[in-house]
A and B are shown apart, each in its own frame.
Chain A
Amino acid sequence: MKKTLSMFLSLVLLVGVLSGCSGSQSANGSKGGKDIDLRIWSFTDELKKPIKKFEEKNGVKVELTIVPIADYPTKLKPVLESGVGAPDVFTGELAFIKQWVDAGYWEDLSKAPYDAEKLSDQYVPYVFDMGKDKDGKVRALSWQTTPGGVYYKRSIAKEVLGTDDPAEVGKMMSSMDSVFATAEKLKAKGYRMFPDEGAIRWFAQGDAPEPWVNDKNELQLTDRKVEFMDYAKEMKANGYTANAAEWSPSWFESMDKAVKVKENGKTVETNVFSYVLPTWGLHSVLKTNVKKSTGDWAVTSGPSPYFWGGSWLGVYSKSKNKELAYDFVKMMTQDKDFLKDWAKETGDVLSYLPVTDEIKGDFKDEFLGGQNNYQFFLDQAQNIKPGIVTKYDQQLDTLYGNAVKQYTDGKKSKDDAIKEFYMKAKNAYPDITVPNK
């Protein structure tokens, strides 16, 4: 009796321990794991509503696992590698999509029965291109496009530039030189063009963008990028910015009210004219932080088109339920009715042209004084060159941004800052060749 009892007790303990090992599975089990037809992983909750619609439409049960973006790659990777507890569909963000399409985690959608290749002319080119692996096979698709623009305050534009029309204001910022001319005008009236010089980093490439790392695995710091360091320094030195670094408290504060800046040894109050942000910046940054100046904003183009962020999704290559999985991908990226509702509900700028063609005509946003930002962003998206994104981009951008800051802050000379950037790039990615400088 005693024996059986102790055996039983240790078994109970063991089971408890073992079930702890496979957290996700036991969690599924408690929810009635056998009924779940499809498992989806993502880093935001934006798929919640589409999933509900998908469930209703197909009479299936879908389980969504949301992992915060900071942990997302580290949590998803081992699962995809081992195939244990893996999702059937998962999303990828711009920061790691290039690694993932090449790693083979996503099913090759170019082959039958998906034949996604045929869709190529129905998407914004750069978005479709991002989902392709190095052999040109489609691995992931996206429902959105995230080109950027310059959001500015209409009242200031009217006062200083004489117009608040986005097209006109856009012309006054069509090149780096005209940006500086406009900044000078703004400064003369006591305004600041940008929150800080980091805002113009998206225009560093000029109109001739090159990938950070070329096919021969060489780091390419183009002349234009080096030139950009001077632009950034000049921007700061001339006092065209309010010294409010991106995501800092003063950055958010200056969206809605005047902020204090130092000028010639004394403190003055000033308003920031514009912010360089992509599509999502409108909904998740400006709208959530601006109270007073709602309706006083507009969006226009900067010196060159750019994009920032975005989500892609695809079918897990080892999924046992690929058909249903692709059905979901199809709904998210190609279902006209669904996408139309989605765009109207969220304001998300879609990349599926058959739908965008239909809805872009009468889109408007009250926050932007009734401007049709949809049409604007789609035009911007068409100008983005595909094929310039590499898997190194996010980290190299950060490292380079750091080097630029060292230079603009006057802590390092241009050559030293570049030298250090090369060192850090080599340290992070030993397999790439950096110029021997």
Chain B
Amino acid sequence: MKNLNRYGYFFIAPFWLVFLVFSIYPVALTFYYSFTNYTGSGTAEVVGLANYTRLLTDSFFVQAFVNTLKIWGINFALQMGLALILAAIFSDMRLKMKGQSFFRAIFYLPNLITVSSVALLFGILLDWQHGSLNVVLMNLGLISDPINWLNEPATAQISVSLILTWMWFGHSFIVIMAGISGISTDYFEAALIDGANRWQTLVSITLPLLKPILLYIMITSLIGGLQLFDLPMLITDGIGSPDGSLNTMVLYLYNQAFKYNNYGYASAVAYGLFIITVIFSAIVFRSMYSSERKQARQV
């Protein structure tokens, strides 16, 4: 009997090996490099906390942080709003929407397209002289001059936010639908009998019971959003133009490491990003759960 236990370790060994080699080791090595002036070749000198003190006073990193939050925030608000509205419509017992799976697939499609294709597609759509968007807006008489979407800080950020919304609302929608289908229909039937209208059903039944799902979406989206990189990288010149408005934290990290060869500093940026992510996740988690506890006591 004693011996048998040992074989379990052999079976979990592959996972742990992979995990150690590809996850723990790089993470630890990055931590070490964050204290050095490693440039990607040659030897690395330990420079103490220099990289971290630089990070704390780096205006470009602060700008990148603010940009990332802005782009993610706008995207998240729109994405959740859209996903919730659609979920409410599709789950409505009185409406009984047809073709649900068809729409689900359509909404989810943008998420399957690679980001490089998305960037190319929107690069063409948003091209300020010949892009369809400006042409349509001008023909409708909404604007008189073409707008250079990707050349103004504000419109560039909003453009990226909207593209992200388009890419991800289908995903959120599907997760929310799954959450709703986990809620017992008894509640909805009872609400129906009691004469609750759609809004009341949504606010008093669906949303509270969806809380764990919403928290899940929020945290995963936050973590993904803080790591926003590919779209800003591809849609302009790769250094966050115009005026640094698309310079996100990971794009900054990437440029420091792979363009400027400041691997040591880039490692410190990575740890800065990690700490920010932890703090934000904790805030979101606490704010959603502490309020619930209070309510429970009140009742």
Q: Which residues of A contact B (CB under 8 A)?
A: 3, 6-7, 9-10, 13-14, 16-18, 20-21, 73-74, 77, 81, 99, 103, 105, 243-244, 248-250, 253, 259-262, 395, 398-399, 402, 405-406, 409, 411, 424, 427-430
Shortest CB–CB separation between residue A123 and chain B, in angstroms? Answer: 27
Bound: A81/B265 CA distance, A: 20
Query: Which B residues lie within 8 Å of A244 (CB)?
Result: 129
**Complex Cα–Cα for A20 and B14 (A):** 11
Known: A248-B127, A406-B243, A427-B58. A262 touches B10 (CB 8 A): no
16 A-B residue contacts at CB 8 Å?
A: A6-B11, A9-B11, A13-B13, A14-B14, A77-B41, A99-B261, A248-B127, A249-B123, A260-B130, A395-B259, A402-B239, A402-B241, A406-B243, A428-B262, A429-B260, A430-B265
A387 to B165 CA separation, bound complex (whole angstroms): 49
Return chain A residues, CB-CB under 8 Å to B124.
Answer: 249
Q: How far is the CA of A15 from the CA of B42 in the complex (A)?
A: 32
Cα distance A16–B13 in the bound complex, in angstroms: 12
Give A260 to B238 CA distance when docked, in angstroms: 27
Which chain A residue has the least Cβ–Cβ distance from B3? Answer: A3
Q: Quick check: B130 and A14 within 8 Å, CB to CB? A: no
Contact pick for B260, options A14, A73, A249, A428, CB 8 Å: A428
CA A10 to CA B7, docked complex, whole Å: 9
- Contacts from B to A (Cβ < 8 Å): 7, 10-11, 13-14, 17-18, 21, 40-42, 54, 58, 60, 123-124, 127, 129-131, 145-146, 151, 237-239, 241, 243, 255-256, 258-262, 265
> Are B60 and A259 in touch, CB under 8 angstroms?
no
Given A14-B14, A411-B243, A427-B58: A77 and B40 within 8 A (CB)? yes
Closest partner residue, chain A, to B145 (CB atom): A262
Counting from the closest, the 3 A-B pairs by CB-CB distance are: A10-B10, A428-B260, A13-B14
User: Quick one: which of B7, B58, B151 has the most chain A CB within 10 A?
Assistant: B7
Q: Are B145 and A21 in contact (CB under 8 A)?
A: no
Q: How far is the CA of A243 from the CA of B134 in the complex (A)?
A: 15
Nearest CB on A from B8, distance (A):
9
CB neighbours of B54 from chain A (8 A): 430
Interface contact A103-B42, CB-CB below 8 Å: yes
Given contacts A409-B151, A427-B58, list 6 more A-B pairs with CB under 8 A.
A6-B11, A248-B123, A249-B124, A260-B130, A261-B129, A398-B237
* B residues near A7, Cβ cutoff 8 Å: 7, 10
Q: Which partner residue on chain B sits nearest A10 by CB separation?
A: B10
A399 touches B239 (CB 8 A): yes
* Given A103-B42, A259-B130, A10-B145 contact (CB < 8 Å): no
Contacts of B259 in A (CB 8 A): 395, 428
Residue of B at shortest CB range from A398? B239
- Chain B residues with CB below 8 A from A3, complex form: 7
Do residues B262 and A21 form an inter-chain contact, with CB atoms below 8 A?
no
Q: Which residue of B lies closest to A74 (CB)?
A: B258
**Chain B neighbourhood of A428, CB < 8 A:** 255-256, 259-260, 262
Known contacts A17-B17, A103-B42, A398-B237; is-contact A10 B11 (Cβ 8 Å): yes
Taken together as a complex, chains A and B put the C-alpha atoms of A6 and B18 apart, in Å, by 19
Q: Complex: how many Å from CA A431 to CA B9?
A: 50
Q: A81–B239 contact, CB under 8 A?
A: no
How far is A244 from B151 in the complex, measured between Cα atoms in Å? 13
For B153, give the chain A residue with the smallest CB separation. Answer: A411
With A103-B41, A250-B130 given, is the CB distance from A21 to B21 under 8 Å? yes
Cβ–Cβ contact A10 & B239, under 8 A:
no
In Å, the complex CA distance between A6 and B204 comes to 54
Give chain A nearest CB distance to B53 CB in angstroms: 12
Nearest CB of A to B114, in Å:
14
A7 to B243, CA, bound (A): 60
- Kindly report which residue of chain A lies nearest to residue B265, judged by CB atoms: A430
Q: Which residues of A contact B42 (CB under 8 A)?
A: 103
User: Contact: A73 with B58, CB < 8 Å?
Assistant: no
Taken together as a complex, chains A and B put the C-alpha atoms of A241 and B145 apart, in Å, by: 18
A419 to chain B: closest CB distance in Å?
13
Contacts of A99 in B (CB 8 A): 41, 261
In the bound complex, what is the Cα–Cα distance between A427 and B60 (angstroms)?
A: 8
Cβ-neighbour of B14 out of A17, A103, A429 (below 8 A): A17
Q: Smallest Cβ distance from A50 to chain B, in angstroms?
A: 28
Residues of A within 8 A of B237 (CB): 398, 402
Give Cα A395 to B261, complex, Å. 11
Q: How far is the CA of A250 from the CA of B131 in the complex (A)?
A: 9
Contacts of A105 in B (CB 8 A): 41
- Shortest C-beta distance, A405 to chain B (Å), equals 8
Residues of chain A with a CB closer than 8 A to B11's CB: 6, 9-10, 13
Which chain B residues lie closer than 8 Å to A411 at the CB level? 243
* A18-B14 Cα distance, complex, nearest whole Å: 9
Shortest B256–chain A CB gap in Å is 8
Chain A residues within 8 Å of B260, by CB: 395, 428-429
Q: How far is the CB of B127 from chain A (nearest CB, A)?
A: 5
**A253 pairs with B14, CB closer than 8 A:** no
Given A73-B258, A402-B237, A402-B241, A10-B14 contact (CB < 8 Å): yes
CA distance A6 to B237 in the complex (A): 54
The one of A14, A243, A249 that contacts B17, using a Cβ cutoff of 8 Å: A14
* Residues of the B chain whose Cβ atoms lie less than 8 Å from the Cβ of A9: 11
- Return chain A residues, CB-CB under 8 Å to B256: 428
* Closest Cβ–Cβ distance, residue B138 to chain A (whole Å): 9
Which chain A residues lie closer than 8 Å to B241 at the CB level?
A: 402, 405
B238–chain A nearest beta-carbon distance, Å: 8
The residues of A that contact B40 with a CB separation of less than 8 Å are 77
A313–chain B nearest beta-carbon distance, Å: 19
B21 — nearest CB in chain A belongs to which residue?
A: A21
